[in-house]
């Protein structure tokens, strides 16, 4: 499966270290439509299959999460997002591997987790595909998410 590409479109780039977007191949492999993308840039990410999205202006943490959630949180402050996903228990989070309490809580609470390939490239606001410096993984919460992750061929699920 090819996980690195340049999509050639413009998204919002706030110039922060958090402005990296999940590549389309991840969603193609999962084969899910999410009810809400809770950490979206203004205007949303066009290739994420979702019914609605929350931006920083909406404050996804303050919103009521309903249904199947996609969460690629800001890596500068993942703790509240991780804990809200654990409480919601229905969706998929893409997070960095971390020696932290929140990571251990996600590991214990999720029904499955997959470490993504080290050559995975994220999409920047200008559409360029670029690597990030840390390993990342997907955590599945709820049976629908766990089944999709298990069948995704993105990696070995624990």
* pLDDT tens, position by position, 87-100: 999 999 999 999 99
Over range 21-26, report the average pLDDT.
Answer: 95
pTM beyond 0.85: the answer is yes
The DSSP H or E segment spanning 53 is strand 50-53
Q: What is the pLDDT of residue 3?
A: 36
Bridge pairing between strands 34-37 and 50-53 = parallel
Instruction: Please report, for the chain, the start and end positions of each structural domain, with discontinuous segments joined by +.
Output: 24-150
pLDDT tens digits for range 46-90: 999 999 999 999 999 999 999 999 999 999 999 999 999 999 999
CA distances (Å), origin 134, targets 3, 48, 70, 115: 16, 22, 20, 11
Written as one string, the DSSP assignment of 88-126 is H--EEEEEE--SSHHHHHHHHH-SEEEEPPTT-EEEPTT
């Amino acid at each position: 499966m090819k996980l690195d590409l340049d999509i050639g479109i413009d998204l919002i780039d706030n110039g922060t270290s958090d402005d990296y977007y999940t590549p389309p191949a991840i969603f193609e492999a999962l084969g899910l439509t999410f009810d809400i993308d809770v950490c979206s840039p203004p205007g949303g990410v066009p290739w994420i299959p979702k019914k609605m999205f929350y931006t920083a202006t909406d404050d996804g943490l303050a919103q009521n999460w309903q249904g199947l959630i996609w969460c690629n949180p800001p890596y500068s402050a993942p703790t509240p997002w991780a804990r809200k996903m654990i409480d919601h228990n229905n969706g998929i989070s893409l997070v960095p591997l971390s020696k932290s309490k929140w990571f251990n809580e996600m590991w214990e609470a999720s029904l499955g987790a997959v470490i993504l390939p080290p050559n995975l490239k994220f999409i920047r606001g200008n559409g360029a595909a670029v690597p990030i410096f840390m390993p990342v993984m997907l955590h599945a919460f709820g049976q629908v998410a766990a089944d999709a992750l298990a069948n995704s061929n993105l990696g070995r699920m624990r």
